[in-house]
């Protein structure tokens, strides 16, 4: 007697859906589910549960939305953050936020890949896929974050060796995996350096330099993994990555490759039009 083929289980694993919604890694979501903080259609969820798009999911009493974005195109934009913007969606002091300048995204939201503080400028990445964002931010991904820094004070070779070897901060050991002198050279007491970290802890770059008795007066992120800010993208402007760049970024972060995009032709055309506008504006400025 032949066995009847088993039907594939319906829906997706709950922890995968929560991770994709940007609530944490899959392992973190497994622990959250086990602790009883998640309900599905009003019933406390258990590990192993699967959910469908029609199910209502709540985490700590709050409705989870945009959790099934895997059916949509995985999108990533780079943003050239100016100083004087915060990385929160709203601010009690009514300061401008990075989200003020981002393009509208239908049926989803932009999730920030890490943060830059108020006085730091440069490269920020945003995606509509929470799982990809978590992969890119997690220390285990080992992704380089490169900064251009201007410091005030005396810097010698012994100091640079300490910064490369490791310095004990209040939240543990930290170090630069690479330090190189900036092309600008010296400006009186100001010195420029390119520095690379791989964790992205809160104010890590500033705290490393301050531990050596020097002050960081300018700080700009210039690279995240293999992503750089193109020269034609000015401060306050954004640019959407193409499909190959998104695939490469997923591979860098160890995330699942995104599904084949649906109805992406118009999005590609829109991205290309925006790219041409930025290049045209850049060309006009350089000719003046």
Find out whether 167 and 211 touch, Cβ atoms under 8 Å: yes
Q: Alpha-carbon Rg of the chain, whole angstroms?
A: 22
CATH of domain 12-68: 3.10.290.10
How many Å apart are CA 95 and CA 112, to the nearest integer? 18
How many Å apart are CA 82 and CA 217, to the nearest integer? 15
DSSP, residue by residue, 3-61: PPPPPPPSSEEHHHHHHHTTS--HHHHHHHHHTT-EEETTEE--TT-EE-TTS-EEETT
- Give percent above pLDDT 90 in the chain: 44
Span 202-258, pLDDT tens digits: 899 999 999 999 999 999 999 999 999 999 999 999 999 988 899 899 888 887 766
How many Å apart are CA 266 and CA 263, to the nearest integer? 7
Span 37-90, pLDDT tens digits: 999 998 999 988 888 878 889 999 888 865 554 456 788 999 999 999 999 888
12-68 and 76-228 in the same fold: no
* pLDDT score recorded for residue 257: 67
- Partner residues linked to 76 by β-bridges: 127
User: Backbone phi, then psi, for 246, in 5-degree steps?
Assistant: -65, -45
Position 277 confidence tier, pLDDT thresholds 50, 70, 90: confident
What pTM, to 2 d.p., does this model score? Answer: 0.74
How many Å apart are CA 133 and CA 19, to the nearest integer? 9
Catalytic machinery residues: 117
* pLDDT: which is higher, 59 or 276: 59
How many Å apart are CA 254 and CA 141, to the nearest integer? 7
Q: How large is the greatest C-alpha to C-alpha distance in the chain, in angstroms?
A: 87
Helix-strand-coil percent breakdown of the chain, rounded to 5? 30, 25, 45
pLDDT at 266 over 70: no
Lowest mean pLDDT among 59-73, 89-103, 109-123, 150-164: 59-73
User: Quick one: which H or E segment has residue 132?
Assistant: helix 130-137
How many Å apart are CA 110 and CA 122, to the nearest integer? 18
Averaged pLDDT for residues 132-152: 89
For residue 101, the 8-state DSSP code is G
Residue with tokens 């780079």: 78
How many Å apart are CA 204 and CA 114, to the nearest integer? 13
CATH architecture of residue range(s) 76-228: 2-Layer Sandwich (3.30)
How many Å apart are CA 152 and CA 190, to the nearest integer? 5
Averaged pLDDT for residues 23-49: 88
Q: Per-domain residue ranges for the chain? A: 12-68, 76-228
* pLDDT score recorded for residue 178: 94
* pLDDT score recorded for residue 91: 83
Position 263 confidence tier, pLDDT thresholds 50, 70, 90: very low
Lowest mean pLDDT among 14-18, 43-47, 264-268: 264-268
How many Å apart are CA 98 and CA 259, to the nearest integer? 28
Span 191-200, pLDDT tens digits: 999 999 988 7
């Amino acid at each position: 007697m032949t066995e009847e083929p088993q039907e594939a289980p319906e829906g997706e694993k709950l922890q995968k859906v929560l991770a994709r919604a940007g609530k944490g890694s899959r392992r973190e979501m497994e622990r959250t589910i086990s602790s009883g903080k998640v309900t599905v259609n009003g019933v406390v969820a258990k590990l192993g549960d699967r959910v469908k798009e029609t199910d209502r999911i709540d985490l700590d009493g709050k409705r989870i939305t945009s959790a099934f974005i895997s059916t949509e195109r995985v999108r990533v934009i780079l943003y050239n953050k100016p100083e004087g913007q915060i990385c929160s969606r709203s601010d009690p002091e009514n300061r401008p936020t990075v989200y003020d300048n981002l393009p509208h995204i239908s049926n989803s939201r932009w999730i920030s890949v890490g943060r830059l503080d108020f006085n730091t400028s440069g490269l920020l990445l945003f995606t509509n896929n929470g799982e990809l964002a978590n992969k890119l931010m997690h220390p285990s991904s080992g992704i380089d974050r490169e900064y251009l820094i201007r410091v005030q004070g005396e810097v010698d070779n012994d100091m640079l060796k300490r910064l490369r070897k490791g310095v004990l901060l209040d939240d543990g050991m930290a170090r630069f995996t690479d330090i190189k002198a900036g092309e600008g050279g010296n400006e009186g007491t100001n010195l420029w350096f390119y520095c690379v970290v791989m964790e992205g802890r809160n104010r890590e770059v500033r705290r490393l330099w301050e531990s050596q008795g020097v002050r960081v007066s300018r700080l700009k992120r210039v690279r995240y993994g293999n992503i750089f800010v193109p020269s034609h993208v000015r401060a306050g402007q954004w640019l959407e990555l193409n499909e190959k760049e998104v695939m490469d970024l997923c591979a860098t972060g160890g995330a699942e490759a995104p599904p084949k995009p649906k109805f992406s032709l118009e999005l590609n055309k829109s991205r290309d039009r925006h790219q041409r506008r930025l290049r045209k504006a850049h060309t006009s400025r350089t000719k003046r």
